Chains A and B, each alone.
Chain A
Amino acid sequence: MMSTDNNDTKNTDSTDENGQKGDILLEMRDVHIDGFSDEKWHHIVKGVDLTLRRGEVMGLIGESGAGKSTLGLAAMGFAQPGCKIVSGTIKFDGMELTKASENEKRALWGSRIAYVAQSAAASFNPAHRLIDQTVESTVNSGIRSLEEAQADARTLYASLQLPDAENIGDRYPHQVSGGQLQRMMTAMAMSSRPDLIIFDEPTTALDVTTQVEVLVAMRDIVERFNTAAIYITHDLAVVAQMADFIKVLRYGNEVEEAETRQMLTSPKEEYTKSLWSVRALTKPEETSDDVVIEIKNVDAAYGGSVKVLHDINIKLPRGRTVAVVGESGSGKSTTARVITGLLPPMTGEVLFNGEVLPKALKDRSKDQLQRIQMIYQMADTAMNPRHTIAEIIGRPLEFYHDLSGKAKQDRILELLHLIELDQTFYDRIPSELSGGQKQRVCIARALAAEPDVIICDEVTSALDQIVQEGILQLLLRLQRELGISYLFITHDIATVQAISDEIVVMYQGAVVEQGLKSEIMSPPYPEYTQLLLKSVPEMDPDWLTNLVDDRL
């Protein structure tokens, strides 16, 4: 049990004796942070200033590698293993955290500063009941007794709209859903009624429909207890709902900071404007009666027992893009597995150019395999880390087209040119490439087979928005030049707008509807499509408020 810091005993009221709304709570000056990777120290955060007052919510946005999470943790005086705070001052409520001892900081963590992590599923200890984890720091630091803290936790669960608030805390983390866990973690952060909460990408791993509920719950509770918060995300539309003002980071430097509305309507810096413009990418829709792939009445199950696809019918017109949208677990990726033959369907068939494809992968001819290719979400894990780019792209050239020697080399260079990478990439290995470059190599590997159809499974989900735009434009250009058809699986509606001709909406293993983009995106909607579309955050700071009002 830890010693009780007398200053920590606080009221649960919105204003406590330590300060009033508007007082400066956190002040960071000229903070520099170094991180150790690839055998050397890198400068991650390069002199950022940050001021946060009581009751304010600051949005911290930027692409991956911008240093936003590192900065967020530094606000707690914490440096991740492999990182160190080199210089600068971090003052929390008058206390200098860079000079504080480990024990002094530990007394703050969990009681006055709380942290909400990106992946709630990984951040809860699998071995303990949720309620025990919720109240752990509150009880440890002596803010409340165990019984009080548990009663309070149940109240918090209820106000976060968790189902069965009385008993849900007795469950283990694996027994509740991802969205529930994320709310649970907010309850855990709130349990000690901290002065400051750091939200580190708390909704990034969630489906849009779940994200809305979590966002509403988090915003309400932060407002109710007048807690100050730093909200870290790369999603502009989300931060617009949550933050009073926004700070944009890039390469460890501050780009600009402004009040939320001002930032959205009139960003000053070029970089900020480019972030805003990504979502403007759209494609005029076209259709075709020439169907290249048709999925007919397909049912599929894993292990022969759990049925995951119910009577799926999808048509993919030649040279067009069909986007398959739906939340996780809706059967999008399973559909892709059925088309590629990785998961033979129980009933129904897949037609390719009017011919029935054999159900199982091993029964398909080399020609059939060659003409349907796939690109995956995680470019990292889809490539052998020991192979050079030339080997990765060269493999399908040898396998499908019997190319070797000079002919193969020329074709590899041609493909590299096609995906806008130069020949210096020829001998590199995947770990030397950025996320976007890796995904381009995966595209080149799919192109090497010269396919008619490419199935793209969440190919841009792991990428930053600017990089996403580059990949999407590349895919569009390749479609225009080579006439490839895409089946584009995604949960991101902005991506759908950018790339698709037709849309398939899936829900719980069944197709809700298929149609032209303009038809699906305009009323009348089936109930689920409406929920899905309404859940996509918009760049309007009032979007969430209006949505909540609508629902009441």
Chain B
Amino acid sequence: MHPILGTVLQRILLGVVTLFFVSLIIFSAIEFLPGDFTQAVLGQAATEETVAAFRKELGLDQPAPVRYMEWIQAVMSGDLGTSFSGRNASGIDRSRSVVDLIEPRLWNTLFLAAMAAIVAVPLALFLGITAALYRNSVYDRVVNASTLTTISFPEFFVAYILILFMSQLWFDFPAIASVNAETPFWERVYKCILPALTMTLVIVAHMMRMTRAAIINLLASPYIEMARLKGISKSQVILRHALPNAWAPIATVIAFNLAYLVVGVVVVEVVFVYPGIGQLMVNSVTTRDIPVVQACALIFAATYIILNLIADIIGIVTNPRLLHPR
């Protein structure tokens, strides 16, 4: 077996272990949330008997460790449980399974994230590489200043400014990204342009600056000076000699920002009224819909872990010392 496979397997295993610990943290954090779903639904007037009966029905009367075990077992078989919402004091059960609730929302969020990523990642790499190539030039300063400006404003501000100019004053892009399962692909893309642009503006600076820094950091190494003394052109020095050694830090920062696209977009979703998973989670926290909150938190954690795992693996396979051992 190639030794790199072993390293990768080890990383994957570590990811699973991390996910397990995260599930523990999520579960206990929710245990500490003040308030109680039964009281939220039944109201102050409910008798103790009704509350107890309702708790029993939801399984909340079990001790925490038992509930954790049941939850984790169900999750491992792909069942995220049943939402608390849809139940009420009237006794009619209109609750839906968490998977059904989350699935369309998650798909929407991933769609938006993918749209932003497809624009933002190549743009950030291009800007970062060219800024490193022409460092300290006017171009470099303009790129740095403008990306810094966009990252310095809060997302909702960028979003409203974009709505003002792109949707009201200059162009006519939709200010509300209302999509549903039946929305055709290109209409979906059209409606998502402004939220995707907002997120692009927010994440490009970080990735671009890291790319620039990773390359410039390498430009001081002896092998770069050697490449210059071999008469290699400036652009080739960067593309052929610096970039292949800079992938590990760049991949890490890209993974970090992609994860942010999935888990950090709630503000953007609210501004553009986009039915994503972030909104769902915030709503569920307000209604104490514990199974949904837990499932969302677990999905967010898994996103971070998987993306960082991919970045780690990219770091490993682009390192010739690991890829080609002695």
What residues of chain B lie closer than 8 Å to A117, measured between beta carbons? 222, 225-226, 229
The 8 Å CB contact of A2, one of B225, B233, B326, is B233
CB distance from B151 to the nearest CB of A (A): 30
> Count of chain B residues with Cβ under 8 Å from any Cβ of A?
23
Is the beta-carbon distance between A111 and B231 smaller than 8 angstroms? yes
Is the beta-carbon distance between A140 and B320 smaller than 8 angstroms? no
Is the beta-carbon distance between A123 and B232 smaller than 8 angstroms? no
Interchain Cβ contacts under 8 Å between A and B, 25 examples: A76-B229, A80-B225, A106-B231, A106-B233, A109-B230, A110-B229, A110-B231, A114-B230, A115-B229, A115-B230, A122-B222, A123-B223, A125-B226, A126-B245, A126-B320, A127-B241, A127-B245, A127-B320, A128-B240, A137-B231, A140-B231, A172-B321, A174-B320, A174-B326, A188-B230
Report which B residues bind A (CB closer than 8 A).
220-223, 225-233, 236, 240-241, 244-245, 318, 320-321, 324, 326
- Bound form: Cα–Cα A119–B222 in Å: 8
What residues of chain B lie closer than 8 Å to A352, measured between beta carbons? none
Is the beta-carbon distance between A125 and B231 smaller than 8 angstroms? no
| CB contact under 8 A between A136 and B230, given known A125-B241, A175-B324 | yes
Cβ-based interface call for A108 (8 A): yes
What residues of chain B lie closer than 8 Å to A157, measured between beta carbons? none
- Bound form: Cα–Cα A110–B228 in Å: 9
Cβ-based interface call for A460 (8 A): no
> Count of chain A residues with Cβ under 8 Å from any Cβ of B?
32
The 8 Å CB contact of A110, one of B232, B244, B318, B326, is B232
- 8 more contacts with CB within 8 A, not counting A78-B228, A140-B236, are A76-B229, A111-B231, A123-B225, A124-B226, A126-B321, A127-B244, A137-B230, A174-B324
What residues of chain B lie closer than 8 Å to A373, measured between beta carbons? none
What residues of chain B lie closer than 8 Å to A141, measured between beta carbons? 231
What residues of chain A lie closer than 8 Å to B320, measured between beta carbons? 126-127, 172, 174
- Bound form: Cα–Cα A541–B116 in Å: 69
Closest to A176 in B: B326
What residues of chain B lie closer than 8 Å to A510, measured between beta carbons? none
Closest to A78 in B: B229
Is the beta-carbon distance between A128 and B233 smaller than 8 angstroms? no
Per-residue CB contact flags for chain A residues 127-146 toward chain B (1 = under 8 Å, else 0) read 11000000011001100000
What residues of chain A lie closer than 8 Å to B245, measured between beta carbons? 125-127
- Bound form: Cα–Cα A174–B323 in Å: 11
Cβ-based interface call for A107 (8 A): yes
- Bound form: Cα–Cα A127–B230 in Å: 17
What residues of chain A lie closer than 8 Å to B326, measured between beta carbons? 174-175
- Bound form: Cα–Cα A140–B232 in Å: 8
Is the beta-carbon distance between B223 and A107 smaller than 8 angstroms? no
The 8 Å CB contact of B231, one of A107, A124, A126, A175, is A107
CB distance from B75 to the nearest CB of A (A): 39
What residues of chain B lie closer than 8 Å to A125, measured between beta carbons? 223, 226-227, 241, 244-245
CB distance from B37 to the nearest CB of A (A): 54
CB distance from A143 to the nearest CB of B (A): 11
What residues of chain B lie closer than 8 Å to A172, measured between beta carbons? 320-321, 324
Closest to A126 in B: B320
- Bound form: Cα–Cα A171–B236 in Å: 22
Is the beta-carbon distance between A128 and B231 smaller than 8 angstroms? no
CB distance from B241 to the nearest CB of A (A): 5
- Bound form: Cα–Cα A76–B230 in Å: 11
Closest to A2 in B: B233
What residues of chain A lie closer than 8 Å to B229, measured between beta carbons? 73, 76, 78, 109-110, 115, 117
Closest to B246 in A: A127
CB distance from A138 to the nearest CB of B (A): 10
Residues 155-214 of A at the B interface (beta carbon under 8 Å): 171-172, 174-175, 188
- Bound form: Cα–Cα A107–B230 in Å: 9
- Bound form: Cα–Cα A285–B258 in Å: 70
Is the beta-carbon distance between A124 and B324 smaller than 8 angstroms? no
CB distance from A372 to the nearest CB of B (A): 35
